[in-house]
Structure 1
Amino acid sequence: MFKRLTYGMVGGSKDSQIGIVHRKAINLHGKAELVCGSFSRNFKNTLATGKELKIDEKRLYKNYEEMAEEEAKRPDKIDFVSIVTPNSSHYEVAKKFLESGINVMCEKPLTITLKEAEELKQLARKNNLLFAVAYTFTGYSMLRYARELIKRGEIGEVRFINGRYLSEWMAKVPFAGKNSRHEWRSDPKVSGVSNCVADIGVHVESVVSFLTGLKIKSLNARMDKFVEPDRLDDNASILINYDNGAEGIYWTSQIAMGHENTLDIGIYGTKGSIEWSQEHANYLKISKVNHPFITLSRGSESVDDFIKTDYVTPGGHQEGYVEAFARVYDKFISAITKKKKGELLEQRDLDFPTVEDGVEGMRFIEKCVESTKRGASWVEF
């Protein structure tokens, strides 16, 4: 058997939210082991986290620069790094590890500017390294099956797309300074040019792109600042024109009371439609002209076997966020493993969100900001 991979993590101390999720997702398939980290700017926190995770203290580092440089020297250097820090540090951290010859998985958004994202793409390509971006929802089984149905023409040519990602956390309390874990998200010095669109709007963009393969031609965005007018957006309404003539509308919000984490996608074509909701992730609603709609479950015999081979649990059980995230990591880790064996990667091996997807996410964010600044005018993508 081929030895399992090793990885390190930047960010994600024991008090972190998303870092813990990344580790659980990787552990689900057991194909990679966490062996080093710089989990916090506070080295005491890094040491405490490392101790809890049973990592050799010699591979706990004071900062990401030291980690990248020291790991690059080792004969058993890590196979990839997982970057789970706030937005503003993604570029510098990813750049350092790419320059050190180490594959990268990075939280979204990829960077805080399109220029930085493009630079990382070129650097990964130059150094022949794999680079994944944590667009988790593309890992859900039924979204992956929906993609196949759309590819086959089951709903005809796509005419209209409706996507929304709604949450309520910024509306619940007076926000600024009240929640140290999330307060940075609306701080432009840390989050970049956007909060809501960069945090959850990019998930809508990535899922739609994943499902349909359509490219945005132009968009019209209105980004709102209801909670903190002097900070970053907490709500956005975005009209989309696609390259095939289809149209769409995205609503993304962090002030939608009554919604904890609602991601709904509807793809409407000339012959039918497909609808999916993350809160009911096991099901697709499929409608076709002159036929009653059906709700297809993950356990259905109609779902292709090649989709089911990726199941962690049998189809009759509810698939969750960590399982979807684990599938993204599994595809990424499998590609690194194949490449490490000296085998040629095919396009099907890169079935995870790549740095190119991260670049398009940054383009989406910047175009939304540009449109908003121009009075919600249409801008070319």
Structure 2
Amino acid sequence: MRRLRMGMIGGGPGAFIGPIHRIAAELDREIELVAGAFSSDAGRSRAAAETYRIDPERAYPSMEAMFAGEKTRGDGIDFVAIVSPNFHHLPAARAALAAGLPVLSDKPATATFAEAQELAGHVASSGLSYGLTHTYSGYPLVREARARIASGALGTVRKVVVEYPQGWLAGEASGKQAEWRTDPARSGPGGCIGDIGTHAFQLAEFVTGLKVTELLADLGAVVPGRQVDDDCSVLLRFENGGRGVLLASQIEVGEMNGLRIRVYGDKAGLIWKQEVPNTLTINTLDGRTEIVHAGGSQLGPDAALRTRTPTGHPEGYLEAFANIYRDFAAVLRGEEAPLLPGIDTALRGMAFIATAVAASRDNAGWVKLTV
């Protein structure tokens, strides 16, 4: 079985996420990064190619040049990974699909909900695969949590609390990553809610298997002069009548990447924390506590399949990211990967951002989330 060949859009010098994509894609040796339009500056694109240790002749000054150049090769790329800022996601995905290339994109899928709707049309008309890197759904114990809830282990879900606290934007934004994320022209109208709130939202729906039907949002730009939200509180109502709370903030000093989720049913509750990802805690109504360990024999088939090391050998972010790539590779090979976030997840994420931003701005109270 030959390795799938990946082309990358974005991920040039100074980018954080490009190297993460490269490591994750290649971890299981099913995929190889072979080409890229890493920057619109030809020199910077070639510099990135050197860092990635790929043929400098396959470092292109534009995505159009990459599509044209790779098409003439017998060993051309099989798909495209989009790792550029939000405003570039739609044009990049649209061009890749038009060139006959499947797409795996960073989240959020686009800068606006209208763009996501347009993207969904391009995906449908192309007939090609589209995936979204909601990395946290790749963690084995997140998938174990989902499986246990689906099996009825928690009973009826009553309450969901999902939090994503960070503190890196508590002061004035500086540096490439901060600057584009706080610029609505490049990030879209949602700041924190689009950057990390959408992760929390996807995790809540993914783990519970339930859709959010209504929300009440309070989004704020706390740092003086900031044009997009940096602190978010959202109340949720789920399709089964359950209630939820989503908290996302990038101004909580001292917090790093503290994504965590708690789900409470009428039989049991569970807790998972991204910064301690190798344990899942389940508390039952009769007072018992079960600690589920990554790599343990008690895992269900999906979580076990996506665990690479024995119990006690920690796995983390890179391995979870690699599970998304593994699922995408399976889809490209014509296999099943039902838990891979796709265009439906993209649409719901963008609808969530747009609805929360508008509801908070207009002080609209409870509003429907429809898509």
Residues 218-297 of structure 1: pairs in structure 2 closer than 5 A: 218-297=214-293
Provide the alpha-carbon RMSD of the alignment: 1.5
Structure 2 Cα separation of the partners of residues 279 and 54 of structure 1: 31
Question: Among residues 196, 202, 220, which one is paired with 2:198 in the alignment?
Answer: 202
Task: Give secondary structure in 2 for the equivalent of 1:369.
Answer: helix
Normalising by structure 1, what TM-score? 0.93
Alignment TM-score, normalising by the size of structure 2 = 0.96
Structure 1: 5+ residue stretches without partners: 340-344
- Which of 242-251 and 64-73 deviates more? 64-73
Residue from 308, 311, 331 that aligns with 1:312:
308
Which residue number in structure 2 is paired with residue 342 of structure 1? none
Mapped to 2, the partners of 1:138 and 1:309 lie a distance apart of 14
What amino acid sits opposite 1:297 in the alignment?
Answer: H
**Partners of 1:222 and 1:310 in 2: CA distance:** 37
Residue 180 (structure 1) shift: 3.0
Cα distance change on mapping 1:113 and 1:246 into 2, 3 Å: same
| 1:182 positional shift | 1.6
CA–CA distance in structure 2, aligned partners of residues 318 and 332 of structure 1: 24
- Aligned runs of 1:14-33 on 2, under 5 Å? 14-33=13-32
SS at match of 2:193: helix
Higher mean C-alpha displacement, 268-277 vs 119-128: 119-128
- Deviation larger for 210-219 or 92-101: 210-219
Greater Cα offset, 42-51 or 55-64: 55-64
For 1:22, the aligned partner's letter is H
Corresponding residue for residue 149 of structure 2: 150
Contact 1:118 1:359 in 2 (8 A): yes
Q: Could you tell me whether the CA contact under 8 Å between 1:72 and 1:101 is conserved in 2?
A: no
Give the counterpart letter for 1:77 in structure 2.
G
Give a deviation string over 1:315-350, Cα, whole Å, max 9, x none.
22111100100011111112112x3xxxxx5xx423
Residue by residue over 1:104-144, the C-alpha shift from the partner in whole angstroms, topping out at 9 and shown as x without a partner, is 01111100111211221221122111111110000001011
Distance 2:23 2:224 in 1: 34
SS in 2 for 1:7: strand
Q: Distance in 2 between matches of 1:54 and 1:375?
A: 51
Q: Secondary structure at the match of 1:281?
A: strand
2-structure distance, mates of 1:296, 1:362:
33
Number of residue pairs matched by the alignment? 369
8 Å Cα contact 1:14-1:20 kept in structure 2: no
Task: State the match for 1:191 in structure 2.
Answer: 187
Instruction: Output the amino acid matched with 1:365.
Output: I
Partner of 1:362: 350
Counterparts of 1:265 and 1:7 in 2: how far apart (Å)? 33
Structure 1 residue 358: Cα displacement: 1.1
* Other structure's SS at 2:176 match: coil
What is the distance in 1 between the residues matched to 2:107 and 2:169? Answer: 19
Distance in 2 between the 1:70 and 1:50 partners? Answer: 15
Structure 2 CA distance for aligned equivalents of residues 95 and 206 of structure 1: 23
The CA deviation at 1:305 is: 4.5
Equivalent residue of 1:161, what SS? strand
Partner residue, 1:8: 7
* Over 4 Å off, 4+ runs: none
Contact 2:182 2:226 in 1 (8 A): no
C-alpha deviation, 1:263, in angstroms: 0.5
1:353 aligns with 2:341: yes
Unaligned runs of 5+ in 2: none
Return the alpha-carbon distance in structure 1 between the equivalents of residues 192 and 303 of structure 2: 32
Contact 1:197/1:233 (8 A) holds in 2:
yes
Q: Do the aligned partners of 2:217 and 2:232 also contact (CA within 8 Å) in 1? A: yes
- Does residue 1:373 correspond to 2:361, yes or no? yes
| Bigger mean CA deviation after superposition, 116-125 or 77-86 | 116-125
1:93 aligns with 2:92: yes
Following superposition, the deviation at residue 215 of structure 1 comes to 1.1
Indicate conservation of the 8 Å contact 2:26/2:33, yes or no: no
Alpha-carbon shift at residue 187 of structure 1 (Å): 0.6
Q: State which drifts further: 111-120 or 154-163.
A: 111-120
State the Cα distance separating 1:32 from its structure 2 match.
Answer: 0.9
Distance 2:142 2:305 in 1: 15
User: Percent identical across equivalent pairs?
Assistant: 36
| CA displacement at 1:50 relative to structure 2 | 1.2
Partner letter of residue 61 of structure 1?
Y
Amino acid in the other structure paired with 1:112: A
What is the distance in 2 between the residues matched to 1:304 and 1:19?
32
